[in-house]
Amino acid sequence: MHTSSATAAQPVVVRRGETTVTPPAAAAAAIRTDDPSTDPAASAAAPAESHAPTPTGLPGTGDDDPEERTAAASPAASDPGRAGPAAGPTGAQFTRPGGMFSSLRVRNYRYFFLGQVVSNTGTWMQRIAQDWLVLSLTGSPLAVGITTAMQFLPMLLLGLFGGVLADRMPKRRLLIATQGAMGLLAAGLAAMTIGGVVTPTFVYAFALLLGLVTVVDNPTRQAFVSEMVGPKDLANAVSLNAANFQTARLVGPAVAGLLIAAVGSGWAFAVNALSFAAVIGGLLAMRTSELRPTAPIAREKGQLREGLRYVKERPELLWPMVLAGFIGTFGFNFPTLLSGFAYDTFKVGAGQYGLLNTAMAVGSLAGALLAARRGAPRLRRLVAAALGFGVLEVLAAFAPGYWTFALLLTLIGIFGLSFNTSVNSMLQLATDPAMRGRVMGLLVLVFTGGTPIGAPVVGWVTDVYGPRLGLLACGAVSALAALVVGLVLARSADLRVRFDLHPGRGGRVVAFVPRTAARAKSELAAAC
């Protein structure tokens, strides 16, 4: 475990034969160790985050990870000239992953994870029940679209303010409040539906209120993960959260369909309201002494602009954010596209349409679990996942048959979730703790807030030119954005591509290497 002080000192980066002082911005780039041939030996001092006291390692004491408990006594720690793992912006050491479920060793995260299993299932139940309720009340698919827009509009307009609130307030207490508010909204909608007094206007209002709460809940929940598990297991925890969500995506709609058919939509809302008790119970049961809380920032003017300036001045944050904006706005428009392929292209019924969604959910779950096995993310892995995602969408646009299309959707799900988890964990690891809420709020804004912009454009292209051209356009934009961002990052870091047909053991056929020795120690080059 690491200790902390109120004021973070500059991290001291130790390399073979030399000692240099690296500013905090430079330390943000050392976020990977999966390439021993290029990873500089480093150790860190004076982390910026407050950490819990070192646990004893007995079962049930929290983080039962012997590797982390003995990090301070490792040879690299005692011998500055000896190679050690890279240091991140918080001064934490990043090592190879401890297994697919390593973050579940942390007691507080286990409680959070189990609560999310229940709550995410309820959330997917409500999504299906809400769409069905609006369709049954109005008979209009447009009304369903309006409901979705009402739920996403607050994120587009207020997403950045949610990140500011996440930085200003204790995240655990804020999550208890937001999760409780979501539970009350679901309970109110359930009561009105079961009582037979619900109208489309009421559903729109509930969707809008839910969107307002989500503006605060989403960046807070994402930033809170680092306070539960710490930097070493952050990438694994983000991936397991994604796997959790995708599992609920498979289970929730099926349970909702059975419940709606048996007793009506109102009871699906009621079950969702009860599911929030699992999350709140897990938050209340956490041992606060084992959390790694970031001190809330004081309320001051200009904090929103400060967050935007912080991202703008750091290419390792800015360009992944730009890429996430393009992928989220244009790449993830599957509700419109899949319905078009099912009904217009392949002429299949509702069952086969549901199977397309299931195929993509299975791929997404597989992608999340694969990501959980990897170490800390790197920029080139992020760009490669985005490029693969776009290319697969282009290929799927030309799929000759239904089953080929379903198989490609599974692969699209794998690459899409790999990108999603990589950008999430990378931005958190490369961000100063005091700015994490605002950075994650901006990520949520660009990734999901673009839906009200991209969905109508993709819908218009699909209606006028057909779903194949619509998916082709989405894939082409995603792939082109990945290529441009990759080239910009390589140029900014002064890297070049090296091809080696005989790389030898542990080498790579294709690798990014510095053009000049002077740029070999560039923080951006290290992050790539």
Q: Which two tokens stand for residue 88?
A: 């991140």
Q: How far apart are CA 7 and CA 47, in angstroms?
A: 9
Q: What pLDDT was estimated at residue 151? A: 83
Q: 58: pLDDT confidence band, cut at 50, 70 and 90? A: very low
Sign of dihedral through CA atoms 31, 32, 33, 38? Answer: negative
User: Residue 523 pLDDT > 70, yes or no?
Assistant: no
Q: What pLDDT was estimated at residue 98? A: 58
Q: What pLDDT was estimated at residue 513? A: 60
| Helix, strand or coil, per DSSP, at residue 31 | coil
Q: What pLDDT was estimated at residue 153? A: 82
Query: Per residue in 437-451, pLDDT tens?
Result: 888 888 888 887 777
Q: 270: pLDDT confidence band, cut at 50, 70 and 90? A: very high
Q: 492: pLDDT confidence band, cut at 50, 70 and 90? A: confident
Number of residues that make up the chain: 528
Q: What pLDDT was estimated at residue 430? A: 81
| CA distances (Å), origin 279, targets 61, 87, 513 | 21, 33, 45
Question: Which residues are within 8 A (CB) of 81 and not within 5 positions of it... i.e. 6 or more apart?
Answer: 14, 16, 17
Q: What pLDDT was estimated at residue 279? A: 93
Q: What pLDDT was estimated at residue 483? A: 92
Report pTM.
Answer: 0.66
Lowest mean pLDDT among 7-16, 118-127, 167-176, 406-415: 7-16
User: Residue 499 pLDDT > 90, yes or no?
Assistant: no
Query: Which has more confidence, 184 or 97?
Result: 184
Pairing of strands 86-87, 93-94: antiparallel
Identity of the highest mean pLDDT range in 71-85, 241-255, 464-478:
464-478
Q: 510: pLDDT confidence band, cut at 50, 70 and 90? A: low
Which one-letter amino acid corresponds to residue 143? A
Query: Per residue in 387-428, pLDDT tens?
Result: 999 999 999 999 999 999 999 999 999 999 889 888 888 888
Q: What pLDDT was estimated at residue 231? A: 80
Identity of the highest mean pLDDT range in 260-264, 478-482, 524-528:
478-482
Q: Which two tokens stand for residue 192?
A: 């009105």
Question: Which residues are within 8 A (CB) of 268 and not within 5 positions of it... i.e. 6 or more apart?
Answer: 125, 126, 128, 129, 256, 259, 260
**Average pLDDT for residues 320-334, to the nearest whole number?**
88
Lowest mean pLDDT among 78-92, 144-158, 390-404, 464-478: 78-92
Q: How far apart are CA 467 and CA 335, in angstroms?
A: 11
Query: Per residue in 66-115, pLDDT tens?
Result: 334 334 444 334 333 333 444 444 443 444 455 778 888 899 999 999 99
**Average pLDDT for residues 248-269, to the nearest whole number?**
84
Q: What pLDDT was estimated at residue 250? A: 79
Q: What pLDDT was estimated at residue 473? A: 93
Q: What pLDDT was estimated at residue 97? A: 52
Query: Which has more confidence, 40 or 146?
Result: 146
Q: What pLDDT was estimated at residue 477? A: 94
**Average pLDDT for residues 247-261, to the nearest whole number?**
82
User: Residue 248 pLDDT > 70, yes or no?
Assistant: yes
**Average pLDDT for residues 262-267, to the nearest whole number?**
88
CB 436 within 8 A of CB 227: no
Q: How far apart are CA 436 and CA 48, in angstroms?
A: 12
Q: How far apart are CA 346 and CA 276, in angstroms?
A: 39
Q: How far apart are CA 488 and CA 501, in angstroms?
A: 26
DSSP tag of 483: H
Three-state SS string across 247-269, please?
HHHHHHHHHHHHHHHHHCHHHHH
CB 33 within 8 A of CB 85: yes
Identity of the highest mean pLDDT range in 9-18, 129-138, 313-322, 452-461:
313-322
Q: State the chain's mean pLDDT as an integer.
A: 76
| Percent of residues, the chain, with pLDDT higher than 90 | 26
Q: How far apart are CA 84 and CA 45, in angstroms?
A: 13
User: Residue 504 pLDDT > 70, yes or no?
Assistant: no
